[in-house]
Structure 1
Amino acid sequence: MNFTESLITKVSYLKNPFKRGTINYAKTFKNQIGIEIGGPSSSFGLKSFFPVYLYAKRIDGVNFSSNTIWEGQIKEGQTYKYEQNKPAAHQYIDEAAELSSVPNESYDFLLSCHSLEHVANPIKAVKRWNEVLKTKGRLCLVLPDKRYTFDHNRPYTTFEHLLADFGQRITERDDTHFEEVIRLHDLSMDQAQSKEELIDRIQNNYINRCMHHHVFSFESVTQMLEYCGFKTVLNKEFKPFHLFILAEKTS
């Protein structure tokens, strides 16, 4: 972290008491090596409530495709640019629930911001994330708070539902939630211009991965993490629509 970044972070810390706890947690990631699913994300950068990009030694990235609506065209290799003043890290092109090209027990921490809700089988993903973490590795999740998003009309996904999806070996081609999303999605809070555009996007979800398969609460996430070998360290809400969860690998 250079002097300017250090100063900006200190000012953010002083001006925002609500952020101080998570900024202090971010400092404990100093000199650690992490991996991020679906990034980069402003939630982990300068002025954020969890500026882990500034403290980590290196963070590699994973995305499901070399062309996404969020990042545009990306290339596998030493191309993952998550922070302006740090060298590019490794970019994997891989499924979040597979990480077939990522070695086991190779990272100190894993980041995922507004990514897990796009995964059809979250328990499968989180179990795999556990495997790529070292002993006592940490998992940092940011998930949408449905109360302030286009999902606000949808019911929370229960842990039992997540467990059933895992038992049934649900894949990314799953269309179970298509009807619910189309029926309950609040178009006024989305960039979709029409119901027809939304339907087309949902029906082509395997290609674009725009749909939220699941709607998470702190309760369901805590149960899922425990099932997947993690202990929740911190749950906290952040404006405008974030649920932040920090957990540690226990098994």
Structure 2
Amino acid sequence: MSIIPEHMLQARRKISNKYLIGQGLEVGALHYPLWIGEKANVRYVDRLSVEELRLQYPELNQYKLVNVDIIDNGEKLERITNNSVDFIIGNHLLEHCENPLATIRNHLSKLRNSGILYYAIPDKRHSFDLDRPLTSFEHLVRDDREGSEVSRIEHFHEWVVLVNKVKDDEIDASLQKLLEINYSIHFHVWNDSTFPEFLLRAQKYLNHSFEIVHVEQNDTEIIAILRKTNHGLLAKLKSYVRNSWIN
């Protein structure tokens, strides 16, 4: 794991200090939790305990991992009460999510009104995803509607071949090993143009349940701040009233 340059950390701190206030969560912080200002408190969520994370990521042995406060699926956050937190941090999380659209939907449900989502993703042009094809929005919609299982093997195969550069006669064995341990690969890939496009299309797809407050290229990553709105609720209310009149 590479060390994050100070200028990137400073940009993260500036955005965190401006938007993250109150009680929140950070999902998958591992050894690089986001800096939090005095006006914020955070609990750490991960899918595994620290001991299990050590086994999953031996390359992090030299680093201190954050204490995991809540063991939960970071895409679903089923142990978190709806409308209970002011912000959720997913720093380099969305690319690890099998269903990013459902993840955003679920995260929004956990936020209080006007709550904040802090997302950062790696720009594929500056990462080991360089040789991988960009993820289309249509692909993400299919995963959301049909279930991410329909493309799971495809993603792992792509990872083995284009990231790990495994030779042909070793592909199947490597693929099976990663599947067995449920290794957290990058399922999806964006760059500086497709990630903002994804956010805009997701905003419409998710019934304008969030507004895009801030998007910033931070060297090798892209940071986005989304704010929960009540537009989706209003749309449901209008639909209910309209149908009531019709009936």
TM-score clears 0.5: yes
Q: Alignment partner for residue 24 of structure 2, among 23, 31, 34?
A: 34
Letter matched to residue 199 of structure 2: V
Q: Is 2:97 aligned against 1:119?
A: yes
Matching residue's letter, 1:233: V
Q: Give the 5 Å matches for 1:66-215.
A: 66=49, 67-68=52-53, 69-70=56-57, 91-171=69-149, 174-185=152-163, 187=165, 195=167, 196=170, 200=174, 203-205=177-179, 207-215=181-189
Secondary structure, counterpart of 2:37 in structure 1: helix
Rg larger for: 2
CA contact (8 A) 1:104 1:133 kept: yes
Provide, for residues 155-178 of structure 1, a one-character-per-residue CA deviation record: whole Å limited to 9, x for no partner: 211111111100012259932312
How far apart in 2 are the matches of 1:151 and 1:169?
23
Structure 1 unaligned regions, length at least 5: 1-11, 46-52, 73-80, 83-87, 188-193
Distance in 2, matches of 1:207 and 1:173, equals 18
Task: Tell me the residue number matched to 1:60.
Answer: 43
User: Partners of 1:231 and 1:223 in 2: how far apart?
Assistant: 12
Q: How many residues align?
A: 209
How far residue 242 of structure 1 moved from its aligned partner, in angstroms, is 0.9
Distance across 2 between alignment mates of 1:220 and 1:18: 25
User: Cα offset for 1:98?
Assistant: 1.9
Which residue is equivalent to 2:213?
233
CA contact (8 A) 1:34 1:56 kept: no
Residues of 2 paired with 1:98 and 1:181: CA distance? 24
Instruction: Report the RMSD for the aligned CA atoms in angstroms.
Output: 3.3
* TM-score (structure 1 length as normaliser): 0.70
Query: Could you tell me how far apart the structure 2 residues matched to 1:249 and 1:145 are?
Result: 25
Deviation string 1:64-102 (CA, Å, 9 cap, x unpaired) is: 122123499xxxxxxxx85xxxxx7x7111112221111
Identify the range of structure 1 (228-237 vs 144-153) with the bigger mean alpha-carbon deviation: 228-237
Taking the aligned partners of 1:41 and 1:231, their CA distance within structure 2 comes to 30
- 2: CA distance, partners of 1:131 / 1:125: 10
* Residues 41 and 113 in structure 1, CA contact (< 8 A), matched pair in contact too: no
- Residue type matched to 2:222 in 1? L
- Shift of the alpha carbon at 1:55? 3.2
Structure having the larger proportion of residues in helix: 2
| TM-score (norm: length of structure 2) | 0.71
Q: Which runs of 4+ in 1 moved over 6 A?
A: none
Counterpart residue number, 2:236: none
SS state at 1:36 partner: strand
Deviations 1:93-148 (A, max 9, x none): 11122211110011111100112211111111111001000001110001011001
CA–CA distance in structure 1, aligned partners of residues 173 and 128 of structure 2:
15
SS at 1:176's partner residue?
helix
Unaligned runs of 5+ in 2: 1-5, 60-64, 231-247
Q: Distance in 1 between matches of 2:73 and 2:23?
A: 20
Taking the aligned partners of 1:170 and 1:23, their CA distance within structure 2 comes to: 33
The equivalent residue for 2:245 is: none
Deviation of the 1:179 alpha carbon: 2.6
The residue aligned with 1:249 is 228
